[in-house]
């Protein structure tokens, strides 16, 4: 078979939005803007977005010790691309989940979300209609917002504000914690070819062969590259892109260097979780979550005089160390979202299978304060190249599947938010007859949508800026035949 062509990832860093390379952990403030373009104001919206596109950070500006002082990312729903005049080609349309939207009735059923009472989505909303644009910004701790000039005559605006108390001192470093008090942001996949070169050797030295458990092909997260099936990920195309001469690849590559974002605003019921902790203790809370509150795996001891790195804290397997769930229950949150080596016929096949369903998480805790409601939550963002095989598979088959791993309940933390459908108990093996605790509704989804995070050249195309192909898109390199 003729060799297929793919670009070298390292040659494309100027065209990849920086959030695919880093979660900007040194920038402790974050905000998310959900914008709906008002009818008749498309040109004004396009011009405003064109001006803000200069704030977008590329992957070339971070890594190898380089850090930015602020960062912005811009993504679009399918309705947003259409609103701004982008039309998919008949030969290479966008995939069905993105086109239909997370807010559609079909996705509602597939994701086991019923009943829904969302505030916003990529399909409709209570006040604004569908969300067209998602803008994420990251700034230093205590800094004000970068985006300050949104014209509400042009956009209907929903602002998701930063939780100023989300970073805590852990082992002498500021680390992210979510509202239930647990360390967040661990167990991230490492994108092959995109990880900072100066960290790879250190990580391999620290955790040895378990490092490869986290190493995932770039095509699982970035469109146009080889995935874990050793296939090039599908790239949709839009009218005008190929004809403009900006794409030189067979089939059109408008989506090259982009990704799809599965986004959810998740309210956390801190009072209910605190009551659960008071009733059962921190150790049971740890079992429900699947980690200690400091981020270490259950059963690991923490020595403040000899702290371990995040890579070391993620270097473990379930089948090898805890097959029956005596330490970390098989229904715990972290075992559902990342089963590691526990679901296949053996360790190797399990890890291979799990890599087909990994997510790159870029969300942050938020705080909403209003006269009607004050609450904490997670603004969840998952980067993936295949919404059906990655986000939707995890959500439907692992998180909200009562039969996951021969169990009879869904995820104790992120399971269904319908109180009448919640599992009544959570099982913890260990005693002769096991131990069970009663659960409450700890989370509730307030909104959600699918967004396309374009490469920077495609972003310029969407907002009407000129695209210089020589600067942003390198020639493809031949790779091995498949």
Tens of pLDDT, residues 379-434? 999 999 999 999 999 999 999 888 887 777 888 898 877 766 666 678 888 755 56
Question: Do residues 135 and 52 lie in contact, with contact meaning Cβ atoms separated by under 8 Å?
Answer: yes
The region, left, alpha or beta by phi > 0 then psi within -120 to 50, assigned to residue 102 is alpha
- Distance between CA atoms of residues 49 and 61, nearest Å: 21
CB under 8 Å to 88, separation ≥6 — which residues? 94, 236, 237, 238, 239
Helical (H) or strand (E) element with 380: strand 374-384
> Three-state DSSP class for 411?
coil
- Distance between CA atoms of residues 251 and 301, nearest Å: 53
Per-residue pLDDT of the chain (482 residues; tens, 9 = 90+): 344 567 788 889 999 999 999 999 999 999 999 999 999 999 999 999 999 999 999 999 998 778 999 999 999 999 999 999 999 999 899 999 999 999 999 999 999 887 788 999 999 887 789 999 999 999 999 898 999 999 999 999 999 999 998 988 776 778 899 999 999 988 999 999 886 544 555 677 778 888 899 999 999 999 999 999 999 999 999 988 854 444 344 446 799 999 999 999 999 999 999 999 999 999 999 999 999 999 999 988 877 777 788 888 898 999 888 888 999 998 999 999 999 998 888 999 999 999 999 999 999 999 998 878 899 999 999 999 999 999 999 999 999 888 887 777 888 898 877 766 666 678 888 755 567 888 888 999 999 999 999 999 999 999 999 886 554 444 443 332 32
pLDDT at residue 467 in the model = 81
pLDDT at residue 471 in the model = 44
First to last CA, the chain: 7
Question: Do residues 385 and 222 lie in contact, with contact meaning Cβ atoms separated by under 8 Å?
Answer: yes
pLDDT at residue 480 in the model = 29
> Three-state DSSP class for 71?
strand
Beta bridge partners of 32: 136, 160
DSSP state of 477: E
Going by C-alpha positions, the residue among 166, 169, 191, 192 that lies closest to residue 180 is 166
pLDDT at residue 199 in the model = 56
Angle at 447 (CA atoms; ends 440, 122), nearest 5 degrees: 155
- Distance between CA atoms of residues 145 and 139, nearest Å: 7
Neighbour count for residue 465 (Cβ, 10 Å) = 16
Give CA 73 to chain center in angstroms.
13
Helix runs in 323-397, H state only: 333-337, 347-354, 393
pLDDT at residue 433 in the model = 56
Going by C-alpha positions, the residue among 368, 364, 304, 373 that lies closest to residue 19 is 364
> Three-state DSSP class for 311?
helix
pLDDT tens figures, 226-270: 999 999 999 999 988 854 444 344 446 799 999 999 999 999 999
- Distance between CA atoms of residues 445 and 190, nearest Å: 28
Backbone angles phi, psi at 230, to 5 degrees: 65, 35
């Amino acid at each position: 078979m003729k060799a297929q062509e793919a670009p070298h990832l390292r040659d494309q860093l100027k065209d990849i939005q920086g959030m695919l390379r880093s979660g900007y952990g040194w920038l402790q403030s974050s905000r998310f803007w959900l914008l709906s373009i008002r009818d008749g104001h498309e040109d004004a919206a396009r011009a405003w977005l064109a001006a803000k596109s200069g704030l977008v950070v590329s992957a070339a500006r971070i890594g190898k010790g380089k850090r930015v002082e602020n960062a912005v990312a811009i993504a679009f729903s399918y309705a947003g691309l259409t609103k701004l005049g982008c039309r998919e080609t008949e030969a290479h349309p966008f995939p069905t989940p993105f086109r239909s939207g997370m807010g559609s009735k079909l996705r509602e059923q597939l994701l086991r979300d019923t009943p829904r009472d969302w505030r916003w989505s990529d399909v409709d909303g209570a006040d604004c209609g569908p969300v067209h644009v998602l803008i994420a910004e990251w700034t230093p701790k205590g800094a004000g917002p970068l985006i300050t000039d949104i014209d509400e005559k042009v956009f209907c605006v929903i602002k998701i504000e930063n939780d100023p108390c989300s970073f805590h001192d852990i082992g002498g470093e500021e680390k992210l914690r979510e509202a239930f008090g647990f360390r967040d942001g661990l167990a991230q996949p490492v994108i092959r070819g995109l990880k900072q070169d100066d960290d790879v050797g250190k990580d391999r030295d620290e955790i040895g062969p378990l490092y490869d458990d986290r190493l995932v092909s770039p095509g699982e997260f970035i469109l146009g590259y080889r995935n874990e099936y050793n296939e090039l990920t599908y790239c949709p195309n839009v009218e005008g892109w190929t004809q403009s001469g900006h794409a030189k690849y067979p089939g059109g590559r408008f989506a090259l260097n982009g990704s799809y974002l599965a986004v959810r605003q998740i309210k956390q019921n801190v009072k209910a979780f605190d009551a659960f902790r008071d009733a059962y203790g921190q150790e049971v809370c740890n079992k429900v979550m699947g980690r200690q509150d400091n981020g270490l795996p259950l059963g690991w001891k923490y020595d403040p005089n000899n702290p371990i790195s995040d890579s070391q804290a993620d270097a473990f397997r379930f089948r090898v160390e805890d097959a029956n769930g005596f330490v970390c229950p098989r229904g715990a949150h972290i075992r559902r979202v990342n089963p590691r080596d526990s679901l296949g016929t053996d360790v190797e096949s399990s890890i291979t299978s799990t890599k087909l369903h990994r997510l790159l998480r870029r969300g942050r805790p938020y705080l909403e304060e209003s006269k009607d409601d004050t609450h904490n939550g997670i603004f969840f963002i998952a980067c993936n190249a295949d919404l059906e095989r990655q986000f939707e598979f995890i959500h439907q088959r692992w998180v909200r599947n009562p039969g996951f791993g021969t169990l009879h309940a869904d995820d104790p933390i992120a399971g269904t938010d319908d109180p009448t459908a919640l599992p009544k108990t959570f099982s913890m093996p260990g005693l002769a007859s096991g131990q069970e605790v009663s659960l409450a509704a700890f989370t509730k989804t307030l909104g959600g949508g699918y967004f396309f995070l374009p490469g920077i050249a495609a972003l310029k195309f969407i907002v009407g800026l000129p695209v210089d192909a020589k600067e942003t898109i390198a020639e493809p390199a031949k790779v091995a035949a498949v």
